[in-house]
A and B are shown apart, each in its own frame.
Chain A
Amino acid sequence: MRGRIVIEIDGLTKRYGDKTAVDELSFVVEPGVVTGFLGPNGAGKSTTMRMIAGLDRPTSGTVRVNGKHYPHCAAPMAELGILLDARSVHPGLSARNNLLALARTAGIGRRRVDQVIELAGLADVAGTRSGGFSLGMGQRLGVAAALLGQPQTVVLDEPVNGLDPDGVRWIRLLLKSLADEGRTVFVSSHLMSEMAQTATRLVIVGRGKLIAETSVEDFIGRAAVGDVLVRTPEPTGLGEALAGPGVTVTSDGTDVLRVSGVTAEQIGTAACRAHVPVFELTPNRASLEEAFMQVTQDSLEYHAGVAR
């Protein structure tokens, strides 16, 4: 039997001088699902992730990866794969040599290196110096490095940064497949909308403190239901077709309606049944971001317009 594959964080605190970056943080990241680590910039996400990887030493508190203190792991790359926010590759080395240098420390062969190069879609540029890489390619290389050792636990700091839509989709599928294999997947982001599409569980932080540990479903459920923007040449007709308990339709006199209480799918179906043409149907996702903002507002380090 293998040990529990989890990240356990207990009373974790990191101070730089008199500034507290991470404040008494405690939570557990479970295997088998993608856990999002959500918080505004400066909330202490990257610092926490560096402490998980043993790069920064906690002022107090503990981090355990699969029941062990990471710096004492015999085979660290089999336990934990990590992508940090800043690029952590040498621009003078090719993608392949960057990966090979890491692989060698754990006795990983060239076959696996070529495998992750393929996996990250870097096969065409594997031999060129990584200094010329775009931000997106650099992210792909970082993800490839994190996966080298087939780690039981994967920690990625803002992996979506700089990726094109194709890359974003790639990351989402990759994270899901890692979680489906039973691995522990912990991913940070400052975008709620991104996490809503990727993560199952959420750890929300602000100003270094834990704000909520919840599931994405619960969080969205608690958040105000978003409205849907509909553009139609027959606003009155559609308004009548949609009328029902809990449904609010507001019109500004033009061809635009704001509808809340029903989904975009339900509106489209209703419009079809009523033979009303619809030119535009836009779910207002901002509400999700607003809910996140609401939750984190008190903890935002820098309010707009407030000087220090």
Chain B
Amino acid sequence: MSAALAPAPAHAGLAPAVAGPVTQVRVIRSEWVKLRALRSTWSCMLIAVMLIVGVGAVFAGGKPYRVSAAHPAAAAVSVSLFGILVAQLVIGALGVLVFSGEYGTGMIRASLAAVPSRLPVLWAKLIVLAGLVLPVTLVAALADFFVATAIQSARGASAISLTDPGVLRTVAGAALYLSVAAVIGLALGALFRKTAAGLSAFAAVFFVAPIVLPHLPQAVAGIAPYLPSSAGGSLWGQPLVAHPLSPWTGFAVLCGYAVVLVGLAAWQLRRRDA
């Protein structure tokens, strides 16, 4: 057994070192190894895709939609994307787990010892998460669009194409919205460090607040359109609430929340003991 103990002769002694400097690109590759290899990543993505397309297909089985001046084509697409309201919780959970999973298992200590400047780890996690969620949800939203319009036109509804006003923005907006939601989940996971706390915070902001707030006195209820989910919902025409903000302004508000939370997460990651 002792023969296997000594490092191989070619690597014996202090030179040559096999470890090079840490670069942002290398840390991104490292984070991709983790995200790709975890089962939870793919189960979350699969559930999200099934929710988006499945709920869209069910809703498309309803009354045939007639496009008119009062009923634009994009609104029909927004309704078919209704599954996002549930899928966002799954995507948010995936985001939370990116950090809380490492804090919960202790892996964060190995990760941060390998990258002692720390911030490259946060940027890399953001990039690989958004890099996975954006294309997958875009494909899901497109699939939802084609499935729903196929079912609707079979039932005699008005034909809707991707080139109709606002339709492409609604479909792409769904993917953009979910990607930023994932980023917010990641920031909450980094801030709270615990999966349960991060998930609760995410659900409270994205799911509970939009339901509760409108029932509160006018002064508080007035901020409802500026909640992340409602503001960001403007981009894909979230069907449950009114959208006083224009689509891209609303999306900018959502991104503002993400930037602030990621900034806090970065500040804390640098400052706090791991």
Give the interface of A toward B (CB within 8 A).
Answer: 2, 5, 50, 53-57, 70-78, 80, 82, 84, 86-94, 97-98, 100-109, 112, 115, 118-119, 121, 145, 147-152, 166, 170, 173-174, 177, 181-183
Contact = CB atoms under 8 A, between A and B. Distances in A.
Contact of B114 (A102, A119, A183): A102
A55 B109 CA distance: 7
A75 B30 contact: no
B22 A74 contact: yes
A62 to B, nearest CB: 15
Interface string B5-32: 1111001111001111111001101110
B37 interface: yes
A93 to B, nearest CB: 5
B17 A73 contact: no
A173 to B, nearest CB: 5
Contacts of B113: 53-55, 76, 80, 82, 84
A88 B34 contact: no
A174 B3 CA distance: 11
Contacts of A92: 37-40, 101, 105
Given A91-B105, A97-B37, A181-B12, A71 B117 contact: yes
A90 B35 CA distance: 11
A173 B5 contact: yes
Interface centre among A89, A147, A150 (most CB of B within 10 A): A150
Given A101-B31, A181-B13, 10 more contacts: A5-B14, A54-B116, A89-B107, A93-B37, A97-B34, A97-B37, A104-B26, A105-B27, A115-B8, A148-B19
A118 B4 CA distance: 8
Contacts of B13: 181-182
A93 B34 contact: yes
Contact of A74 (B1, B21, B111): B21
A97 B112 contact: no
A149 B113 CA distance: 12
A151 B19 contact: yes
B274 interface: yes
Given A104-B26, A105-B30, A106-B114, A170 B14 contact: no
B222 to A, nearest CB: 42
20 contacts: A54-B116, A57-B273, A73-B116, A74-B22, A76-B116, A84-B106, A86-B106, A90-B38, A91-B105, A97-B33, A97-B37, A103-B30, A106-B22, A108-B20, A119-B5, A148-B18, A149-B18, A149-B19, A181-B13, A181-B14
Contact of A108 (B18, B105, B106): B18
Given A71-B116, A104-B33, A106-B114, A87 B4 contact: no
A55 B273 contact: yes
Nearest to B12: A181
Contacts of A100: 33
A121 B29 CA distance: 26
Contacts of A177: 5-7
A107 B23 CA distance: 9
B273 A77 contact: no
A175 to B, nearest CB: 10
B125 to A, nearest CB: 12
A92 B274 CA distance: 20
Contacts of B68: none
A102 B271 CA distance: 22
Nearest to B107: A90
Task: Place the interface of chain B in its size category.
Answer: 35 or more
A159 to B, nearest CB: 14
Interface string B73-106: 0000000000000000000000000000110011
A115 B7 CA distance: 8
The 3 A-B residue pairs with the shortest CB-CB distance, nearest first, are A149-B19, A104-B30, A77-B19
Contact of A90 (B12, B22, B101): B101
A73, A86, A89, A105: residue with the most chain B Cβ atoms closer than 10 Å: A105
Contact of A170 (B1, B26, B274): B1
Given A91-B105, A92-B39, A105 B22 contact: yes
Given A92-B38, A119-B7, A177-B5, A106 B105 contact: no
A197 B259 CA distance: 54
B26 A77 contact: no
A119 to B, nearest CB: 7
B107 A88 contact: yes
Given A98-B107, A101-B34, A112-B18, A106 B26 contact: yes
B14 A77 contact: no
A142 to B, nearest CB: 8
Contacts of A72: 116-117
A76 to B, nearest CB: 5
A55 B30 CA distance: 19
Contacts of B241: none
Contacts of A55: 109, 112-113, 273-274
B2 interface: yes
Contacts of B115: 76, 105
B31 to A, nearest CB: 8
Contacts of B102: 90
A166 B1 CA distance: 10
A86 B1 CA distance: 27
A115 B20 CA distance: 17
